[in-house]
Amino acid sequence: MSLPIDSTNGDRFDDLVAGFVLGDLSFEEMAAIESLDQNRFATEVEKTDLAASEIFLTLDGNSGEQLPQSLRELILSQANQG
Amino acid sequence: MSTAAVVRLKSLQLVPMEPQLENTVSRLSFSTNVEQSSASILERIAAQDPSSFRECVEKYGGLVWSLARRFTLNHADAEDATQEIFLDLWQKADRWNRSKSSEVTFVTMLARRKLIDRFRKNSRSIEWSSLGGDPNAELPVTSSASSVEILDESEKAMRCLGKLGEKQREVIRLSIHQGLSHSKISERLEMPIGTVKTYERRSLLELRECMERFERMVGAS
Judged by a CB distance cut-off of 8 A, whether residue A50 touches chain B is: yes
Measured between alpha carbons, how far is B33 from B43 in angstroms, rounded to an integer?
8
Residue A80: which of B75, B57, B17 has the closest Cα? B57
Contact A23 B142 (CB under 8 A): no
B14 chain-A contacts, CB cut-off 8 A = 23
Mutation target vs B (from A41, A45, A67, A72; most B CBs, 10 A cutoff) = A67
Facing residue for B201 by CB, picked from A14, A52, A76: A14
Length of chain B: 221
Contact B208 A19 (CB under 8 A): no
What is the per-residue pLDDT across B154-169, written as a single tens digit (0 to 9) for each? Answer: 788 888 999 999 999 9
B106 chain-A contacts, CB cut-off 8 A = 53
Q: What are the angstrom distances between the C-alpha of B174 and each of B18, B19, B100?
A: 30, 33, 26
Per residue of chain B (221 residues), what is the pLDDT tens digit? 555 655 555 555 444 444 444 443 333 333 333 334 468 999 999 998 888 999 999 999 999 999 999 888 889 999 999 999 999 999 999 999 988 888 999 999 999 989 888 887 775 444 433 333 343 444 343 434 456 667 677 788 888 999 999 999 999 999 998 888 889 999 999 999 999 999 999 999 999 999 888 878 776 76
Judged by a CB distance cut-off of 8 A, whether residue A14 touches chain B is: yes
Contact A76 B57 (CB under 8 A): yes
pLDDT score of B96: 92
What is the per-residue pLDDT across B71-119, written as a single tens digit (0 to 9) for each? Answer: 888 899 999 999 999 999 999 999 999 888 889 999 999 999 898 888 8
pLDDT score of B179: 86
Residues whose CB falls within 8 Å of the CB of residue B101, separated by 6 or more in sequence, listed in order: A50, A53, B109
pLDDT score of A62: 61
Q: What is the ipTM of this complex?
A: 0.80
- B97 within 8 A of B28, measured Cβ to Cβ: no
Distance from CA of B38 to the nearest CA of A (A): 23
